[in-house]
Amino acid sequence: MKGKLILQDGTTFRGQLLGNTSTTTEGEVVFNTGMTGYQEILTDPSYCRQIVTLTYPLIGNYGVAKQFNQSRKSFVAGLIIGELCEKPSSSSMEKTLADFLTEEKIPCLYDVDTRALTKKIRSAGTMKGVIVSEYTSQSAVDDMMALPVRKRVVEMVTTPVSYTLDAGANPLNVVTMDFGIKRNILDSLRKLNCRLTVVPAYTKAEEILALNPDGIFLSNGPGDPKDVPEIINEVKKLLDKRPIFGICLGHQIIALALGADTYKLKFGHRGSNQPVKCLETGKVAITSQNHGYAVDEKSLGELPVKVTHISLNDGTIEGVRHNTLPITSVQYHPEAAPGPNDSVHLFDQFIDHMRVFKNK
């Protein structure tokens, strides 16, 4: 079935709708430059309610396998691609991408000029868009455009109840605040012998401390960090209580809890080849990123924090460390391994902080 993506400014991109339904969707249109990893992108909760454009032209060539899912389900609003591979091949493949999209009820528009769409977003910035069939009325499109962009999306992706993931003998106990955590992060911490208690995003600081953790991890997640002031207030209460490590949204929440500010990027950082420089060592890491907001360097002022990492693409902050407390955070995903091992030491640093705390 013929379909189209209509951006908020009226720009239209035409293609084919997957399946024979007139499924429609709306959300913020973003792009990811990764050449692989479409399944991980589709199951990353940080993309909640976003229409994701993949810039690599051929998508679905190695199919889909359950072992690569990053969450319990997909939360994306829609997918836009150039060519949809009809005959994938991989030893681990369990189903085709088309089957996965159908089962997850993800609207997909393919045969789209994704190069032109990406250039549009890069020049105009991310904006709302709708995916509709070619024959959808203008009044229906107007009604969809009038819908407000969903805020507080962390509520949609966080775990509804706490759960525990055990480790080996004599583990470090880590409480993980789930803002939309990826499975690979949990796996990375467990490999370092961390027993994980994963709690809902809005868990109170007192409840977290009652679990007597050796450290607290703040996960990645979707949306504007300023949409969750309750979480920021709870994190404030934890700052001087335990070692803390944050990734992505967790990084932004730590910054806000410390008194800094955040702002929205024009089109964000989404891809698996983002260069980040460590200011302490001078080394450059190739990183995987997925965020639309950044910490405002001007807001750091006299705060007791040090910028540890910056993006070599635009100079934005990619990591901070507290001057006296065992608190560190990065804007990118060290567990995603695009380097592949450029950033795994960040987890080791968190482990060291917890061991020092535990042996006090």
Catalytic sites, residue numbers: 248, 333, 335
Answer left, alpha or beta for residue 252, where phi above 0 means left and psi between -120 and 50 means alpha: alpha
Distances (CA, A) of 42 to 48, 78, 108, 316, 338: 9, 9, 11, 26, 17
Query: What's the CA gap between 341 and 335, in Å, rounded?
Result: 9
Residues near 72 by Cβ (< 8 Å), separated by ≥ 6?
none
Please name the residue that has the structure tokens 């987890």.
347
Distances (CA, A) of 332 to 10, 173, 311, 338: 33, 24, 10, 11
Which of these, 144, 84, 76, lies nearest to 114 by C-alpha position?
84
What is residue 343's three-state secondary structure?
Answer: coil
Q: At what angle do helices 229-238 and 249-257 cross, to 10 degrees?
A: 70
Q: What six digits make up the tokens of 197?
A: 């208690």
| DSSP assignment of 181-204 | --HHHHHHHHHTTEEEEEEETT--
- The string over 184-197, giving b where at least 16 C-beta atoms fall within 10 Å of a residue's C-beta and e elsewhere, is bbbebbbebebbbb
β-sheet bridge partners, residue 291:
269
Please name the residue that has the structure tokens 């302490």.
280
Please name the residue that has the structure tokens 């607290």.
216
Residue 252 CB-density burial (10 A; 0-12 exposed, 13-18 middle, 19+ buried): buried
Query: What's the CA gap between 299 and 353, in Å, rounded?
Result: 26
Q: What six digits make up the tokens of 260?
A: 């800094």
Query: Is residue 222 reached through a cis peptide bond, with omega within 30 degrees of 0 on the bond before it?
Result: no
